[in-house]
Amino acid sequence: MQNAHFLQKIPLTNHVQRIVLHKFAQENGLIVYDEYVDDGWSGTNFERPAFQRMMSDIEAGKVNCVVTKDLSRFSREHVTMDYYLEFVFPEKQIRYIAVTEGEDTEKGLSDFIPFRNLFNANSP
């Protein structure tokens, strides 16, 4: 089983995100290792405390899967987001899943990822 690592960042939707993510984990045999919530931080900032803590856990080999409700919950900065999906996570053998968008690195990401990331970068 994979250890799922949840990352959230918008306080108003935390409850809904938790429901979606826990249901997904249960239905897909993922073990929830931890949840990281970056309240009050911009999704364009990769220095967010919970994000940094997540990356420390990834470096320490504590998790092998990151699950978010959608791509924008991971980041709203498209260039760095693409870098993580195309280089950082594959190098560290980290599976990434964006639940509501059906994106999963284990199955291969769709060609729409760069467009979604660009749209997210320009959304409030």
Question: Domain locations in the chain?
Answer: 3-121
| Contact indicator for 4, 31 with CB cutoff of 8 Å | yes
pLDDT given for residue 9 in this prediction: 45
Q: Tell me which CATH homologous superfamily contains domain 3-121.
A: Resolvase, N-terminal catalytic domain (3.40.50.1390)
pLDDT score recorded for residue 12:
46
- Whether residue 10 contacts residue 70, with contact meaning beta carbons closer than 8 Å, is answered with no
**What are the pLDDT digits (tens) for 70-110?**
888 787 777 888 889 889 999 999 999 999 888 898 887 75
Per residue in 109-122, pLDDT (tens digit) is 756 555 555 555 55
pLDDT tens figures, 39-78: 777 767 778 899 999 999 999 999 999 998 888 878 777 7
- Whether pLDDT at 24 is above 90: yes
Q: pLDDT value at position 44?
A: 72
For residue 60, the model assigns a pLDDT of: 95
Specify the pTM.
0.78
Task: Please state the separation of Cα 22 from the chain's center in Å.
Answer: 14
